[in-house]
Amino acid sequence: MSIEVQNITKSFGNFLALNDVSLYVKTGELVALLGPSGSGKTTLLRIIAGLEEADEGSGPVLFNNHNVANSKIGDRGVGFVFQHYALFRHMTVFENVAFGLRVRPRETRPDNGEIRRRVLELLRLVQLDTQANRYPHQLSGGQRQRVALARALAVEPQVLLLDEPFGALDAKVRVELRQWLRRLHDEIHLTSVFVTHDQDEALEVADRVAVMSAGKVEQFATPNEVFHKPATEFVMNFLGSVNKFRGQITDGKVRLGGQYIMDVPENTEEAKLFVRPHELLISHKKTPNSFNLRAVVKRIHSAGARVRVELETHSGDPMTAEMTHAMLSDLNLETGQEVYVTPCNIHVFGSDEHSLEE
């Protein structure tokens, strides 16, 4: 089932949580809503679910091109998973999962044998069939979230919505569970949307990522695209650390330290240049045909999978470069050395914070 929201606006008092947001999720897709807190991602998810209602004048919420904006959450066929699991603590794992089946009207309610069969099947799917008779508080966080997932799947939803599903878990469990969720999605192909503030999580799990900020979708694209071709300065900044430079514009050309970078449209007043640390090359000699910046090595952090080198330009601006351990030993870097720094990939943004690349 595809999901489409059009021109959704939502405010809480004076706070504008969503500002004219539109989004289209294809059938069977796994989409992440990524953004800092207060960016409106959870509000958008709750509007899709029917837990919140968009402001007057907003566009429709379409499931398979059918407007559901006026139907109740229970009628939308959505499964919803909360950050803090929201398990019913006075019910066993089995009863939690069976809940959605038991509350059906008598005509459509499966009989007890059928409920039992379906619940146990789901518990097997989430690898908890041995825990059926335990109570939620007897389970670990990861297990609880899997129960919540099984419970949401029990009503055979057309759409699965997850609000920070891994947010309350320990780092290690979080990584395991998100990989498991990806595999599960590949198995059942349910259209799914999940909210997260963790970029690794979004980039690793989702088919496409909607990066949100201040009630707007900044970019909606594949993980590769949002990482390598960020559409806005915000996306660039949010997905990993960056080094900033200010470019000079003359005759419609951006230059950095006199070196030509790219053409820009006329009337462009400002060009902000961003370089990711792993795209800054360090060498002892000038690189020909390229921009070279002199900098002093301030610190070398080599405890980790990659080496981070902190540098400082003559004008006192800090910079960070990242490299492999092999590169470090080839370079034979030491603190206090003076080196040449060359960016090998520059992202340029205009004064409206949008990318100037096509």
Q: In what order do the strands lie in the sheet with 347-349?
A: 243-246, 272-275, 347-349
51 binds another protein (CB under 8 A): yes
Smallest gap from Cβ 151 to another protein, in A, equals 7
73 binds another protein (CB under 8 A): yes
Of 102-110, 203-211, 297-305, 340-348: span binding another protein (CB under 8 A) = 102-110
Structure tokens at 161: 């919505």
Q: Nearest-CA neighbor of 296 among 309, 285, 306, 307?
A: 309
Structure tokens at 51: 């837990």
Residue among 38 and 77 whose Cβ is closer to another protein: 77
Number of neighbouring beta carbons within 10 Å of residue 185: 20
Helix (H, G, I), strand (E, B) or coil at 131: helix
Identify the DSSP state of 286: P
Q: Cα–Cα distance between 39 and 193 in angstroms, integer?
A: 16
149 binds another protein (CB under 8 A): no
Number of neighbouring beta carbons within 10 Å of residue 332: 8
DSSP E strands in 28-72: the ranges are 30-34, 61-63, 66-67
Smallest gap from Cβ 208 to another protein, in A, equals 24
Window 21 to 50, contacts with another protein (CB under 8 A):
49-50
Structure tokens at 12: 């809480």
Smallest gap from Cβ 80 to another protein, in A, equals 4
62 binds another protein (CB under 8 A): no
Smallest gap from Cβ 173 to another protein, in A, equals 17
Kindly tell me which residue out of 37, 57, 65, 90 binds another protein, with binding defined by CB under 8 A: 90
Q: Cα–Cα distance between 153 and 33 in angstroms, integer?
A: 21
Q: Cα–Cα distance between 64 and 26 in angstroms, integer?
A: 9
154 binds another protein (CB under 8 A): yes
Of 51-59, 234-242, 278-286, 304-312: span binding another protein (CB under 8 A) = 51-59
Kindly tell me which residue out of 22, 27, 67, 84 binds another protein, with binding defined by CB under 8 A: 84
Of 145-153, 237-245, 252-260, 287-295: span binding another protein (CB under 8 A) = 145-153
Distance of CA 138 to the CA centre of its chain: 31
Smallest gap from Cβ 81 to another protein, in A, equals 8
Residues at the contact surface with another protein, assessed by CB under 8 A: 49-53, 69-75, 78-80, 82, 84, 86, 88-90, 99-100, 102-104, 135, 137, 148, 151-152, 154-155
